[in-house]
Structure 1
């Protein structure tokens, strides 16, 4: 995972985590990257110093940096994502098709998870189909 310090055109600063460098550019170009404070789509990377560390030092730093409330919130988020995954059918690349079938009553209502391109996700939302992305947590990619 790559962490970028980001800033919008209204000078709101926030962080973004991306699976690779090009992921930032793809999300920005697709309109999925907006300021969490004002929803501005005009986002740019801020200067930040790179940090190179060992796994042990990283773990120690994370434990010091996260206070109890942050750790508890992360644990609850992790549990919520696990519960969604455990109680949903993974339909993979068929997600847009299955979501439409459920929405239009052509398939039984059930929780599903899967993959959709940004364009497919936008089309589902435009049709009034309620979807939400599951966060990719740091532990999910290590």
Structure 2
């Protein structure tokens, strides 16, 4: 995962996470990266400084668990991972042919959009399933 500082054509600055630099390029070229302020899809990377730590850097004080880490822990503990069967499972639960339960998995953006259009409540998670993390 990589975080980029971004700027839209109107100068609004924001940040977003991407799987890789090439994933960002593909999403930007497909006009899938939009400014949260004005919804412009004319977005470019902004100048950003890398985060570097050295051996002589002072240790950071202990922090509370990061909210995304807590969300991941709760989703993994309270939901069934269905992987690539997510769309099929979500639709089966909506149609009543499968027991309702909390699930998470993977879906292409078009498939997820179709679920929403069909009235099936889904939402993207801000992390990758552990099976997909290197």
- CA–CA distance in structure 2, aligned partners of residues 31 and 124 of structure 1: 21
Shift in Å, 1:6 = 0.4
Q: Is the 8 A contact 2:72 2:127 kept in 1?
A: no
Query: Which residue is 1:20 aligned to?
Result: 20
- SS of the residue 1:17 aligns to: strand
- CA–CA distance in structure 2, aligned partners of residues 79 and 32 of structure 1: 28
Query: Which residue is 1:133 aligned to?
Result: 124
Query: For structure 1, which segment, 15-24 or 31-40, has the greater mean C-alpha deviation from structure 2 after superposition?
Result: 31-40
TM-score, length-scaled by structure 1: 0.72
* Residue 42 of structure 1 pairs with residue 42 of structure 2: yes
The alpha-carbon distance between structure 1 residues 43 and 127, as it changes in their structure 2 partners (threshold 3 A), is farther
Query: Which residue is 1:96 aligned to?
Result: 87
Query: Which residue is 1:114 aligned to?
Result: 105
Unaligned ranges ≥5, structure 2? none
- SS of the residue 2:98 aligns to: coil
**Structure number having the greater helix percentage:** 1
The alpha-carbon distance between structure 1 residues 106 and 31, as it changes in their structure 2 partners (threshold 3 A), is farther
Unaligned ranges ≥5, structure 1? none
- CA–CA distance in structure 1, aligned partners of residues 56 and 125 of structure 2: 28
- CA–CA distance in structure 2, aligned partners of residues 31 and 108 of structure 1: 37
TM-score, length-scaled by structure 2: 0.76
CA RMSD of aligned residues (A): 3.2
- CA–CA distance in structure 1, aligned partners of residues 73 and 126 of structure 2: 11
Q: Is the 8 A contact 1:30 1:118 kept in 2?
A: no
Query: For structure 1, which segment, 37-46 or 79-88, has the greater mean C-alpha deviation from structure 2 after superposition?
Result: 37-46
The alpha-carbon distance between structure 1 residues 31 and 82, as it changes in their structure 2 partners (threshold 3 A), is farther
